[in-house]
Amino acid sequence: MNKVVVIDYGMGNTDSVLRALEECGGKPILSNSKSDFETASHLILPGVGSFQVGMKNFNNLGIKPILEEQVFKHRIPFLGICVGMQILADKGFENGEYSGLGWIEGKVEKFEKKNNDQRIPHIGWNEVNFEKETSIFAGVESGKDFYFVHSYHFVCKNSTHIIGTTPYCGEFVSAVKKNNIYGVQFHPEKSQEPGFSLLKNFLSIA
């Protein structure tokens, strides 16, 4: 049985992520324990809040070395959700400039309005257009709507890491992938059928 560990770093929304994973057939646990990370089959980093607070909490727990060992050495599938995707970047510019995990090259910047009809934060349903075929989107149509809540977006340094984009304030990166590391700006746990399909696909990655 897969051991899905949702990383507990004080960034909210974990209950809905755990419930969604259970509905998708997983048996998730919420933990920041080294022993749980060492025996995890899948790792998920959720997040609601700011890049700054997320990284502060993450660093205070001292869990980066063990997670990097699992993700880079043992190739455990990893999924970052919302702020959990953003802190994969090299740096973020929310309330100042802060270093991220640096697992996927890029930076996180605030949206700039392209017209007066656009509101920041970007809240609600919007389409995700697939830029590449990837197993995490198997069985989901490109252009399906997912649920978003955010004011900042990931700017990838390397376009090969972009697997999904969304039209808002021009166009922004809404899904990334680098080897066994995935990130989604939207909330799959709040995105009904397409979101649950994505989570099931993630859990099926060996």
Query: What residues are labeled active site?
Result: 82, 187, 189
What's the DSSP call for residue 138? T
SS3 content of the chain, % helix, strand, coil (to 5): 30, 30, 40
Alpha carbons 91 and 161: distance in angstroms, whole number: 16
CA dist., res. 182 & res. 178, Å (int) = 7
User: What are the helix (H) ranges across the chain?
Assistant: 14-23, 34-38, 51-61, 64-68, 83-86, 192-203
Q: Please state, in angstroms and rounded to a whole number, the distance separating the CA atoms of residues 153 and 139.
A: 26
Counted residue by residue, the chain has a size of: 206
> 3-class SS at 173?
strand
